[in-house]
């Protein structure tokens, strides 16, 4: 499976100790897709701009969808803009796709960051591989899991220290910043909502 699918699997694992916000996960999934496209040579980065380059279409349907959504005219899209555009409702897209592929099953327990209360990964080789990547603290997956709050930061798993590829490092750093920005928006809205409620109570 792709890095994005592995991330979704560990985020929906019933043993996950912390719930993941749908928006956070969607941003991280978009980042994971971009990292896989970089790894496949489908795109490169020029600074923080995504430059389509490869001619081969990814075999993974969701990665192929991501590749087809790339901006192919200059100035090319910035990584941050890609995360917000591609990431819109992306967690729901992965939920649907993985469920159709039999990678997710609905049960009487568990939780999901995409609003379905009873969905969890099926016991498949792909699930075991994803959990193994997490257990081994595979650098890219570890940074993404930390960014969405699944794991506490570990030594050597920050966006700058984990991967050796500069482009991957850039994407991971932007994912982290985007998740932080989303959390700031949530907090601001919560404060505004509380203030509005206080006005009406007064």
As a whole number of angstroms, the distance between CA 79 and CA 132 comes to 28
Directed axis angle between helix 61-68 and helix 90-100, to 10°?
A: 150
Closest CA to 148 of 19, 6, 17: 19
pLDDT band at 173 (very low <50, low <70, confident <90, very high): very high
pTM of the model: 0.85
pLDDT band at 117 (very low <50, low <70, confident <90, very high): low
Q: What is the dihedral of CA 56, 137, 99, 35, to 10 degrees?
A: -30
- pLDDT tens, position by position, 119-129: 889 999 999 99
Please name the residues in contact with 117: beta carbons below 8 A apart, sequence gap of 6 or more: 110, 111
Of 39-53, 114-128, 152-166, the least confident:
152-166
What is the separation, in whole angstroms, between the first and last Cα of the chain?
55
Identify the domain containing residue 87 by its residue range: 3-201
pLDDT number for residue 161 = 46
How many structural domains comprise the chain?
A: 1
- Two tokens at 99? 């469920």
Mean pLDDT of the chain: 85
- pLDDT tens, position by position, 80-98: 999 999 999 999 999 999 9
Q: How many CB atoms lie within 10 A of CB 169?
A: 19
């Amino acid at each position: 499976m792709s890095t994005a699918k592995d991330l979704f699997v560990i985020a929906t694992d019933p043993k996950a100790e912390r719930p993941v916000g749908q928006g956070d996960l969607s941003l991280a999934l978009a980042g994971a897709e971009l990292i896989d496209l970089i790894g496949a040579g489908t795109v490169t980065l020029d600074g923080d701009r995504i430059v389509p380059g490869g001619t081969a279409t990814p075999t993974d349907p969701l990665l192929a969808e991501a590749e087809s959504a790339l901006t192919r005219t200059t100035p090319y899209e910035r990584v941050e803009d890609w995360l917000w555009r591609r990431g819109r409702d992306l967690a729901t897209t992965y939920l649907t796709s993985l469920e159709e592929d039999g990678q997710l099953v609905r049960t009487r327990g568990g939780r999901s960051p995409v609003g379905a209360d009873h969905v969890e990964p099926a016991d498949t080789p792909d699930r075991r591989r994803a959990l193994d990547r997490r257990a081994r603290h595979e650098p890219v997956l570890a940074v993404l899991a930390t960014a969405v709050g699944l794991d506490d930061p570990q030594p050597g798993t920050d966006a700058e220290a984990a991967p050796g590829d500069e482009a991957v490092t850039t994407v991971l750093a932007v994912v982290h910043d985007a998740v932080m920005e989303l959390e700031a928006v949530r907090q601001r809205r919560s404060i505004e909502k509380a203030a509005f409620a206080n006005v009406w109570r007064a």
